[in-house]
Every structure is written in structure tokens, then in C-alpha cells.
Amino acid sequence: MPDIDLHRVHDLGLAVARGVAEKLAADLGRKFALRGSWKGNVLHFERSGVNGSLEVSARDIHLSVSLGFLLKAMKGSIERAVLAELDQLVPAVKPKKAPARPKKGA
């Protein structure tokens, strides 16, 4: 079971979401010294004490991270850093409003 499991729904489409995921991976790679490689639309990454995946689709982004024993103590700060990065790069999808119903007798 992953220590960090984040899911973000978006309406960017696959090509834009893949670009966002690549930027996210580059930014987090610099911050946490991660190395990774893409297999299809899934980025697998690792470093000593960390491994995980970043899966991208046309509708969502799913990040799953397992932390080694020493890094589990830093889980909160790592998760906050990743969430801040996601918030900057992936706009929240706002629920669509139902169309207004015409008033009776109108």
C-alpha cells in the first residue's frame, strides 16, 4: 500500500495532462533527486528510499508513492510539497451546473 496516494481529476485532455505531468515530474525530480522513465502514460520513478508512479489519462492524474523507513517520518512535508505542486499545475475541475429549468407558465 502506498504511503502517498493522490488523485486529481482534470479536464485538460491527454496531451496537455502529459505535459503537466512531465513538468511535475521534473520539478519534483529536482526537489527530491528522483529519476524516472515513462512507459506509455505511466512514469515510474525512484531513488534511495522512494519509489512510485505517476499515471496520466485524459481525465485524471494519479500519483502513488512508497517511502522507505527513514522517509516515512517526513511523509507530511513530502505530501504537502507534492500537493502544492499539483495545485499550481493542475487546475481544479469545477462541477458543472445543471442547466436552469424554465419556470412553469413561462
Condensed to tens digits (0 to 9), the pLDDT of residues 13-48 reads: 999 999 988 888 888 888 888 888 999 999 999 999
Question: Considering its fold, how many domains does the chain have in total?
Answer: 1
Rounded Cα gap, residues 57 and 53, in angstroms:
13
Give the range of the structural domain holding residue 36, as residue numbers without chain letter: 4-89
Q: Residue 90: its pLDDT value, please?
A: 80
Q: pLDDT class for 1, splitting at 50, 70, 90?
A: confident
> pTM of the prediction?
0.79
Q: Per the domain annotation, does 103 fall within a domain?
A: no
What's the distance, CA 16 to chain centroid? Answer: 13
Q: Residue 101: its pLDDT value, please?
A: 62
Q: Residue 96: its pLDDT value, please?
A: 55
CATH number at residue 53: 3.30.310.50
